[in-house]
Each structure stands twice: as C-alpha cells, then as structure tokens.
C-alpha cells in the first residue's frame, strides 16, 4: 500500500479563497488602526469602538477560515478521468 499523500494543485476556488483571506486580514488591520485612532480621540465607551473591535474579530476569523480552505489538500472529484 502506498500511504504517500500527493499534494494537488490549487483549484480556482482555492485561489479565490486565498485572495479573500488576504483581503480579510487587510480589513482586520484597517479596523485595528481605526479602533486605535478612535480610542485615542473618543475613548472606549462608544458603540463605534465596540463595532470596530467586532470588525477586527470578524475579519480575522474569516481570513483564518478562508486561508484554511485555500491550503487544504482537496481530492480530485473529476469523473471524466480514470487514474
């Protein structure tokens, strides 16, 4: 038996997922910069500051999930080719 796992090429969906994961990480950084700016000028008692923190968490979480999908070694379910 051959237990070696072959690394497959990324499909179109995985490439799109990688792009949006990077975009999500950038949005998380932008939200963090905005939250720091808002805290310096207005304090932490504003709902806008809480929304900025929630945006950081949401964008970072989406980026993590999308990066995980982009790096997954998915099997090929193409039925037209027989190996």
pLDDT tens digits along 5-47: 666 777 788 899 999 999 999 999 999 999 999 999 999 999 9
Other CB atoms within 10 Å distance of the CB of residue 15: 12
| d(C-alpha 83, C-alpha 22), whole Å | 35
Six-digit token string for 76 = 């090929």
Could you give the number of structural domains in the chain?
A: 1
In a domain, 58, yes or no: yes
In a domain, 39, yes or no: yes
In a domain, 79, yes or no: no
In a domain, 19, yes or no: yes
In a domain, 82, yes or no: no
Neighbouring residues of 23: CB distance < 8 A, sequence distance ≥ 6: 63
- pTM score of the predicted model: 0.79
Other CB atoms within 10 Å distance of the CB of residue 49: 17
* Residue 41 structural domain: 12-70
In a domain, 76, yes or no: no
Q: What is the mean pLDDT of residues 66-78?
A: 83
């Amino acid at each position: 038996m051959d237990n070696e796992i072959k690394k497959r090429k990324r499909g179109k969906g995985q490439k799109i997922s990688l792009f949006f994961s990077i975009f999500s990480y950038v949005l998380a950084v932008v939200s963090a910069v905005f939250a720091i700016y808002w805290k310096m000028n207005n304090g932490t008692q504003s709902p806008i500051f809480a929304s900025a923190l929630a945006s950081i968490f949401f964008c970072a979480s989406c980026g993590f999930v999308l990066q995980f999908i982009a790096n997954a070694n998915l099997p090929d379910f193409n039925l037209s080719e027989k190996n």
